[in-house]
Amino acid sequence: MPYLRLEKDNDVAVVWMDQEGEKVNKLGDYLLGEFTAVLDDLSQDNSIVGAVLISGKPDTFIAGADLERVNEITEPGAIQTLVKQGHALFNRLENFRIPVVAAINGAALGGGLEVAMACHYRIATDSPKTILGQPEVQLGLLPGGGGTQRLPRLVGLQKSLDMMLTGKNIYPRQGKKMGLVDQVCSPYALLDAAKQAARDLARKPRKEAKRKPSFFDKVLEGTALTRKMAYKKAREMAEKQTRGHYPAPMRIIDCVEAGLEDGIQAGLAAEAKYFEELWRTPQSAQLRNIFFAMTALKKNPNQDLVKPVDKIGVLGAGLMGAGIAQISASKGIDVLMKDLDFDALGRGKKTIWGELDRRFRKKALSAFQRDSIFSRVDGVIEYAPLGKSDMVIEAVFEDLDLKRRVLADTEAVTPDHCIFASNTSSLPIKEIAKNASRPTQVIGMHYFSPVPKMPLLEIIVTPKTAKWVVATAVDVGIKQGKTVIVVKDGPGFYTTRVLAPMLNEALLLLEEGGDIENIDRVMRKLGWPVGPVTLIDEVGIDVGAHVTEVLSKMFAKRGVSSTDAMGRLLAEGYKGRKNGKGFYKYEKGSSEKGKKEVNTAVYEFFGGSTRKRHNAEEIRRRLMLVFCNEAARCLEEKILLSARDGDIGAIMGLGFPPYLGGPFRYMDQLGTTVVLEALEALAVKHGPRFTPAKIIAEKAADNGRFYDA
């Protein structure tokens, strides 16, 4: 069998899952026959009293469904039939004549967790790579292997909805506390512990009711009336968070309600029906496109050129530097963090400790893991100790002279093979490397704040950057857990460059008399996590003014002038959230029920207090199309290597609404002819900043697309 291997240890069967030719185990229709054959074998062997289901892969139990395989199914109703076949198999496993123990090391996600939940007992290892979750909602789907039915019965209504509606990861100790996992052990003890558990269960079967609900859970879940209130509240929260753009959360709640109120068979029937329904939605199609793109980006195309990086130097112990140090240390890399004095280093290390300790308190890390990661970060105030670094990443202020100075100081003490990476959001790398002694080893690594949470890393290469340097930087980024895109050098690179025109357009709307709150509300309703004006405050008006200065020459060559609003605001002391003086108020008591209050004093920079509300469609069209047009220019000028990278960069780095697929998928969805006509109309009305990119006109000429499919 290419997937399952059956071994017998006296009275216990061990079923090894080791999908041939794959790095991880996935669930597909090809597994149905094999699994059925194994169960048939075990059902006829009376010498076997228990079974263990365990993975032969080093860091994965089962990663989830084989989405590419399901993608091949086009016949209506066929996916629903496949889901029902999976249900039948999992039901058989759940009701099997002998106890089956799921031995989990590594990821048990989606269908992988559903397999484990159909078993009678779950043991998870305390490995940092062991995570459990139902992330299907992130693909616009619902758990289709009985997850909407078994999860609420294991962990309760509230916790199960939280898991399924957010797609969050659960770590082993969390899982043990909530009833999802029965036992936690060392990876080295997993197989023996699972065999022993199987024998113990054979001797003394466990009682059905394993979960001990809290008093709150008993009250909330105890009656049909209180559960009805819980479903209602969950739907209200889902509607608020998705703004109606994502149908999956509502269908998940529907399935859970059907199962708990009308029985598990009704719940499974709803699950099968709605899984296919969701699969066919445009939202799920776009989210799956994102998933496939991210999966592809986890593979380094030039892995053979990678040189080892065992020690990293980080220049700057601020939030960015501390974040880079933390994610590097978390992946086993030794880090030397340098700053001007020990006070600054202390603040940086305190930031790292706080984040690690928060994860420990959430039971995502053990105390030993937390302490081990923290011990990999050391602090220095001199350059000399960086002499053994394989890579140095600078995270100092966005000042060209300063960056050139720290590059020169770094090159003076580091070995010949050391890579110098600049964490800059806008300054051209070739300008930073202008006087470098090793220009081929200078590269940009643009992280996003907060570094531990933001998934994107934008790597910037100059014409002089050596291929092995690019390959090694990509390898480091992937190890750090980032989704990495590689772009060519230029003012603002890709992400900053495409964001700048959109924020500029928002300020121009204000100069036309627009209302701050209205502009932000319209864009949030479209699916952006925050509105553009709020984003300016979050990034910093000082940063915005600097970016405007860096990019203004490039835009001026096209006849496009940027508003000087941020420069004028900065001159009057406005920096945004960081100093409590921005487009919104940040002093204590200035927000009501979490809603920020507009700082109306800022309107004096935009024509006075009399404001108007622009039409929502006009706001959306202007801001979205100026963003997409600049993305197209980046592809046209080969700043971007592909439309795929542009979409991933916009979604992961800037918050472009995922259900729209990114700027290039969005333009394909609208049609390039429609986009061209809309831009031309806006250019007539508002000027050359809307002049369509040539590549859009070329695509529209033959009704073309940015993607083949």
- Other residues' Cβ atoms within 10 Å of the Cβ of residue 604: 10
- Is residue 489 within 8 A of residue 637, CB to CB? The reply is no
Beta strands in 398-515 (DSSP E): 419-422, 442-447, 456-461, 483-488
Cα 643 from Cα 626, distance rounded (Å): 17
At residue 59, the 3 state secondary structure works out as: coil
Catalytic hit among 458, 505, 517, 630:
458
Joined together, the tokens standing for residue 312 give 């990293």
Q: Do residues 599 and 585 touch, judged by C-beta distance below 8 A?
A: yes
Structure tokens at 676: 């061209």
Answer for the pair 543, 643: CB distance below 8 angstroms, yes or no.
no
Strands 334-338 and 131-133: unpaired
| CA-closest candidate to residue 293, choices 21, 647, 628 | 647
- Looking up tokens 């949030």, which residue turns up? 524
The tokens describing 651, both together, are: 């979604």
Residue type, 230: A
Instruction: Supply 358's token pair.
Output: 């928060």
Give 3-state DSSP helix, strand, coil % of the chain, rounded to 5: 55, 15, 30
Q: Write the DSSP symbol of residue 480.
A: T
DSSP state, residue 170: B
For residue 73, give both structure tokens: 């199914």
Those residues whose C-beta lies under 8 Å from the C-beta of residue 53, and which sit 6 or more positions away, are 15, 17, 100, 101, 102, 103, 115, 116, 119
* Alpha-carbon gap, residue 696 to 676, rounded angstroms: 6
Q: What is the DSSP letter of 341?
A: S
Strands 50-55 and 100-104, sheet pairing: parallel
CA distance 687 to 700: 21
Question: Six-digit token pair at 71?
Answer: 């993608």
Distance of CA 270 to the CA centre of its chain: 29
| Nearest to 18, CA basis, from 8, 7, 10, 114 | 7
Cβ 334 vs Cβ 311: under 8 Å: yes
Query: Hunting for tokens 């043991």 — which residue is that?
Result: 123
First and final C-alpha spacing in the chain? 35
CA dihedral of 289, 171, 6, 198, whole degrees rounded to 10: -150
| Per-position b or e across 374-395, b if 16+ CB within 10 A of its CB | bebbebeeebeebeebbbbbbb
Whether residue 114 lies in the annotated active site = no
Upstream peptide bond of 76 is cis (omega within 30 degrees of 0): no
For residue 9, give the H/E element and its range: strand 4-9
DSSP-based three-state secondary structure for 169? coil
Residues serving a catalytic function are 458
